[in-house]
Every structure is written in C-alpha cells, then in structure tokens.
Amino acid sequence: MDQLTLLALDTATEYCSVSLLVKGQRFVRSEKVGNGHSQLILPWIDEVLKEAGIALRDVDGILFGAGPGAFTGLRIACGVAQGLAYGADKKLLPVCNLEALAHHAFEKSQRVAVMNDARMGECYAAVYERRPTVSSRSRLPC
C-alpha cells in the first residue's frame, strides 16, 4: 500500500507549525512566534517541500488545525490551507487541535484530558477515551 504524502498546518496557538509527511519521513518547522504566523507560514511550507524534494502537486492532502484556538490564527491556517488545496486541487481536512494532542497521549493512557490556554484566564478543554474500536469525545466537536 502506498503511503500518503500529507502537508499539515497549525496556527491556532502562539506556535506556528508546518509538517510534511513523505514516505514515513517528517519535515517540520515549528516555533513560538506570538502573532507572526502570517509572515512564516508560506515560507515554511516552501522550505519543507524543498527539503523533501517534492512540489505541492505531489501532496495527497492538506490538513489544518481547526481549533479551538485564537480566531486570527485559525483564519490564517484555514485560509492558507484552503487556498493551497483549491489551487492545487488537493483534498482538505480540518483537524481538531485538542483531539490531535490527545491522539499522541493514547500511547500512554486510555483516557486523556487535554487543555490549551484560551487566554483571559480561560482554557479549551476536552476529555477523550480510547476504546477498542472507536475513539469518543466527551465534548462537542470543534
């Protein structure tokens, strides 16, 4: 079975992240940038594609962090992902940021609580439970 080549973007928090998966190998740019997402996201996408030796046309799909998170950050990732996907005729997949974090913790636990800073003394939170056949969440979808 062929492996998918996927480009993933996230700007929902103070971190800006771009990741490219090609034949099981990851090419990543991620840094705490505050409000500098819009200046870095496109150059980083170009960098990871060049580092992997592929073009956007070689990507099977584009994923983006769909929140919860900062409104402006969410618009940046969504807008860039939609523009690239539309322009290159690629599949587009929004990914819940909290669910993505929980996925990594499932290696250590069957039940995971995930929290992310929402600023102003609040947080985004969700509890996920891994079941043998289905992962379910105890909150509304993103």
Q: Where are the domains of the chain?
A: 6-95, 98-137
> How confident is the model over 50-90, as pLDDT tens digits?
999 999 999 999 999 999 999 999 999 999 999 999 999 99
Full-model pTM:
0.87
- Kindly write down the DSSP assignment for every residue of the chain, as one continuous string: -PPP-EEEEE-SSSEEEEEEEETTEEEEEEEE-TT-HHHHHHHHHHHHHHHHT--GGG-SEEEEE--SS-HHHHHHHHHHHHHHHHHHT-EEEEE-HHHHHHHHHTTT-SEEEEEEEEETTEEEEEEEEE-SS-EEESS---
Fold of 6-95: Nucleotidyltransferase; domain 5 (3.30.420)
> How confident is the model over 80-124, as pLDDT tens digits?
999 999 999 999 999 999 999 998 888 889 999 999 989 889 999
